[in-house]
Amino acid sequence: MNLLYGIGFAAALLIALLMTPLVKSFAFKVGAVDAPNHRKVHSRIMPRLGGLAIYIAFIGAYFMVSPAIDTLKADVVFGLLVGGSIVVLVGALDDRFDLSPKLKLLGQVLAASVVVYSGVVIDLVNVPFGDTTISLTWVAYPLTIFWIVGVTNAINLIDGLDGLSAGVSGIATCTILVLALMMGNTTVILLCVVLLGSIAGFLFYNFHPAKIFMGDSGALFLGFSLATLSVLGFKQATVVSLLVPIMILGVPLSDTFFAIIRRWVNKKPISVADKNHLHHCLLQMGFSHRTTVLIIYGIAFVFGTSAVLLSYISEQEALWGAVLLIVILLCILVLGAEVIGIISKTKKPVLQFLNKIRAKTMQLSARSRMTK
């Protein structure tokens, strides 16, 4: 079985390496290009549609290996492949024709609905510190659709630097793969290895300086795939372990969350784009393009490691340990956000509060020394 997984990864990697240059030429021919503007970091016209190479590699490698594995869950595969095809089509059309946000959202909801129809839903929640189980009944369907659409767009939002979305998605895929290996979930393992191979092959051309962008076709497909795969294995989970998929996708989700808070604090419409996302803030601090991407890779790795630890702790029913891990991670997240100014460059209440405590402590210490 391990050999088959290795073949799947290698096949996806090779197909992506071979297809990406062809997709690049195709993007120029059909006019699917990204022109620089005041919000873009690149300074020359770049081909988009790179997501097609990722998608073709994923599909091709999967169908090469899957006939040899008889324990795959057909319903899960159906939901991911059909829904993924829909979002790739929507993303490719947007890469060429710049679809309206409403039309793109409609396509995403349709793709998410296919996943829900295939049976992939968050249906039960076990309350921690007790044996109570809550059935989500009909709420499970809109909740799952909301999750998939939200993650799909979160991955799209961080696609602002060469190799950023692909690398962060690759780290998230590795995290899901580790958890799938822990659970022995054959279907998720295979889907993860072929997705990881596809991302790695494309990243060879996409890392700085990029030769091609993944475009919405790639960002939407990766977001959709990660959202769907992250739900699997957590369909019946405790409230604590339900945070595992959130941690897996910690970078895009936190960046999206902070963007919403930032626009609310600054009294700007949520839909208005800006240059204060995580990667923008790091660039403004003086980090180079490549260093900024590597820093965010590191943050994604921390989130992924925390997700694995949280899953392990939850399985051992050491829920107080899980709560402590979550609190520590949240404190680091808030402090980090204020240090780089991702919410506001001037309004930093937590840091200001800590500085007041520090100043007060220093004053008390000075008085103590004077009285001695």
What end-to-end distance do the CA atoms of the chain give, in Å? 73
Number of H helices, E strands in the chain: 14, 5
- Measured CA to CA in angstroms, residue 270 lies from 264, 282, 302, 328 at distances of 7, 22, 28, 29
Question: What token pair was written down for 142?
Answer: 């809109």
Show Cβ contacts of residue 371 under 8 Å, excluding neighbours closer than 6 positions. Answer: none
Residue 242, pLDDT score: 59
Residue 333, pLDDT score: 86
CA 154/CA 174 separation, integer angstroms: 18
Residue 236, pLDDT score: 43
Residue 47: strand, helix, or coil: strand
CA 203/CA 174 separation, integer angstroms: 15
Domain extent at residue 329 = 2-371
CA 135/CA 123 separation, integer angstroms: 6
Residue 238, pLDDT score: 44
Residue 231: strand, helix, or coil: helix
Residue 286: strand, helix, or coil: coil
Q: Which segments of the chain are extended strands (E)?
A: 33-34, 46-47, 124-126, 133-135, 236-238
Residue 34: strand, helix, or coil: strand
Contact, 241 vs 311, CB < 8 A? yes
Residue 65, pLDDT score: 95
CB burial of residue 186 (10 Å; 0-12, 13-18, 19+): middle
Residue 237, pLDDT score: 44
CA 217/CA 221 separation, integer angstroms: 6
Residue 307, pLDDT score: 85
CA 108/CA 283 separation, integer angstroms: 31
CA 62/CA 12 separation, integer angstroms: 8
Domain count, the chain: 1
Give pTM, 2 decimals.
0.89
H helices of 207-288, in order, are 215-231, 243-248, 250-265, 278-284
CA 363/CA 361 separation, integer angstroms: 5
Contact, 213 vs 57, CB < 8 A? no
Look at the block and give the residue holding tokens 């992506």. Answer: 16
* Per-residue pLDDT of the chain in tens (372 residues, 90 and over written 9): 789 999 999 999 999 999 999 999 999 999 999 877 655 565 678 999 999 999 999 999 999 999 999 888 888 899 999 999 999 999 999 999 989 999 999 999 999 999 999 988 877 555 554 555 566 677 889 988 999 999 999 898 888 899 999 999 999 999 999 988 888 889 999 999 999 999 999 999 999 889 999 999 999 999 999 999 988 755 444 445 557 778 888 898 898 888 888 888 877 877 677 778 888 889 989 999 999 999 999 999 999 998 888 777 765 555 677 778 878 888 888 888 888 888 887 778 888 888 888 887 888 777 777 765
Contact, 342 vs 258, CB < 8 A? yes
Which of 265, 268, 296 has the alpha carbon at shortest distance from 280? Answer: 296
